[in-house]
Structure 1
Amino acid sequence: MSALLEARGLVYRYPGGVPALAGLDLSVARGRKLAILGPNGAGKTTLLLHLNGTLRPSSGQLRLDGTPVGYGRDALIAWRRRVGLVLQDADDQLFAASVAEDVSFGPLNLGLREDEARARVAEALATMDIADLAERPTHMLSFGQKKRAAIAGALAMRPEILLLDEPTAGLDGQGAALLLDALKRLSDAGATLVFTTHDVDLAWAFADEAAIFCDGRVIAQGQAQDMLVDADMLARAKLQPPLLARVALALKAKGVLDENAALPRDDAQLLDAISPRPA
């Protein structure tokens, strides 16, 4: 499958010469959910800022649909229409007086008519299940509501790829579940999702593919169920296999689970796998 978005040999240094990306390669397949995993402070956010053109590498190349991207004004506008970015801290993106005004900013900047922009805003708010917050001042939103409003602002641009930096960081269990449910609906509708995280359990339950980020490079990329059980490779990125995978492997070793059974990806699958079957 050809990549929708691809990074080849990206090199980038922070001011002062501190290395951030060191010849990084990454492939984003259309319609997939890709988790980029690595420890905090590893440079995952810097990578996302390259994937939508906010930062420019000192060397290397980014391609959309196989075509090298450009960094001129028109090229960047076209790029960011296709690749949306949601930062970890929603306060870095929300600035308008109300949620609806904030979400409408991008569509209006595209030059859409007001009625077209309103339709996009309504669609994005409904997708994130916050239509009732349209007139709410952004400073009066809860942390989770701010996250969903920031994502709605990106969705109103109708990007092909949505980049999310640590999407569940700071959310409680219910808030994370609500957000992931909305993201799953986006994925089911055909959106391509790329998210950074250090939460291997989140990646195990939600991602189709995983890229392991370490020392400014992607050291491995592939199917999540393959990448996230490789303890030695994960250790290089200061990670360990997800709890569900470790429990399931231990149960296989004890003969409780069939050796050839697929590893459960969530609690319900694990409970189903260990439940006694009718005689």
Structure 2
Amino acid sequence: MADLILAARGLTYSYGGSAPALDGLDLDVTRGRKLAILGPNGAGKSTLLLHLNGTLRPARGEILLDGVPVGYGRAELNRWRARVGLVLQDPDDQLFAASVYEDVSFGPVNLGLPEDAARRRTEEALEAMRIAALAERPPHLLSFGQKKRAAIAGILAMRPDMLLLDEPTAGLDSHGERHLLAALDHLVKDGATIVFTTHDVDLAYGWADEVALFSHGRVLGQGEPAEMLGDEALLRQARLHMPLLLDLARLRHEEGYPYPSGGPPRSREAFADWMRMAPARSGGG
């Protein structure tokens, strides 16, 4: 059985009597994996993240942390948020101190840690996000990508088990995106669990370990990226299109070329290697 760190069961939530933003939603989050919550704008993805760390409370349904229903008292919320950190889409909504160092150190200091321990956590978070050289710089002088990494570092300094990232690559150029994803990969190798929202099917296909397709406040399906993002019926329901690499791989496969042993390639490099191998056809037209 999968090692679930967090699960949502039957979540229902509406804003001010409008149509449900979440409508009986179920979701499983497996420890140590990268889960993409994939859907169009306005589908309720951000609302879901706000439920997964207790910022919002559902009208119906529950959140389970390590299989135990969470509570919403102050002490319970503090314990929950110490384990599940949320990074908002706009880093300016989280950065507020006079310097990057002060911003990142805010969490450890307010945990009541000894000065040496708080400093160590802050420095480790800055190094993990590769922004130690920016420690004394005012946040408003950072680039957008640097602000994103500073906001993530502020959550990392709390040492959560899980990171919730709302559209983590939105507003980044290709270099900034690669830099951020590489830093996040290091966190996963160290045992972190990542849940991120996106409407970028190519990002989800190439980077996530698992995908949950989302539409109208519900999870339409959850599973391996190639399975979920190769299901044309589910993609239509979610108003999404198939990732380019997967689409090209399927076309070649239909011509009779077998997939590599790991299934359809999920990166440009893997796809190029597959093309160069030019295996013998297994049949087809």
TM-score (norm 2): 0.95
Q: Which amino acid aligns with 1:147?
A: K
Q: Secondary structure at the match of 1:244?
A: helix
Query: Displacement of 1:109 after TM fit?
Result: 1.1
Contact kept? 2:260, 2:274, Cα under 8 Å: no
Q: Distance in 1 between matches of 2:264 and 2:170?
A: 26
Corresponding residue for 1:72? 73
What RMSD over aligned residues (CA atoms) do the two structures have, in Å? 1.3
Work out whether 1:24 is the aligned partner of 2:25.
yes
Corresponding residue for 2:282? none
The 3 A distance-change label for structure 1 pair 222 and 277 is closer
Corresponding residue for 1:253? 254
**Where do residues 83-162 of structure 1 align in structure 2 (5 Å cutoff)?**
83-162=84-163
Task: Give CA deviations for 1:29-81 in whole Å, capped at 9, x if unaligned.
Answer: 10011000000111100000000000000110001001110101000000000
Structure 1 segments unaligned to the other structure (5+ residues): none
Q: Distance in 2 between matches of 1:188 and 1:113?
A: 28
Q: Distance in 2 between matches of 1:112 and 1:88?
A: 28
Q: Distance in 1 between matches of 2:116 and 2:92?
A: 27
Work out whether 1:37 is the aligned partner of 2:61.
no
My pick for the range that moved more, 69-78 or 219-228, is: 219-228
The 3 A distance-change label for structure 1 pair 222 and 109 is same
The count of aligned residue pairs is: 277
**Where do residues 147-226 of structure 1 align in structure 2 (5 Å cutoff)?**
147-226=148-227
Corresponding residue for 1:63? 64
Q: Secondary structure at the match of 1:9?
A: strand
* Structure 1 segments of 4+ aligned residues over 6 angstroms from their partners: none
Q: Distance in 1 between matches of 2:131 and 2:207?
A: 22
Query: Displacement of 1:259 after TM fit?
Result: 4.9
Structure 2 segments unaligned to the other structure (5+ residues): 280-285
Corresponding residue for 2:267? 266
Task: Give CA deviations for 1:126-166 in whole Å, capped at 9, x if unaligned.
Answer: 00000000000001000000000000001000000100000
| Identity in percent | 63
The 3 A distance-change label for structure 1 pair 57 and 276 is closer
Q: Which amino acid aligns with 2:114?
A: R
Q: Distance in 1 between matches of 2:180 and 2:108?
A: 23
Corresponding residue for 1:49? 50
Q: Secondary structure at the match of 2:8?
A: strand
The 3 A distance-change label for structure 1 pair 211 and 253 is same
Query: Displacement of 1:254 after TM fit?
Result: 2.4
My pick for the range that moved more, 195-204 or 9-18, is: 9-18
Task: Give CA deviations for 1:195-228 in whole Å, capped at 9, x if unaligned.
Answer: 0000010001111111111111111111122111
Q: Distance in 2 between matches of 1:54 and 1:160?
A: 17
Task: Give CA deviations for 1:160-199 in whole Å, capped at 9, x if unaligned.
Answer: 0100000000000000000000011111111100000000
Query: Displacement of 1:18 after TM fit?
Result: 3.0
Query: Displacement of 1:87 after TM fit?
Result: 0.4
Q: Distance in 2 between matches of 1:203 and 1:234?
A: 13
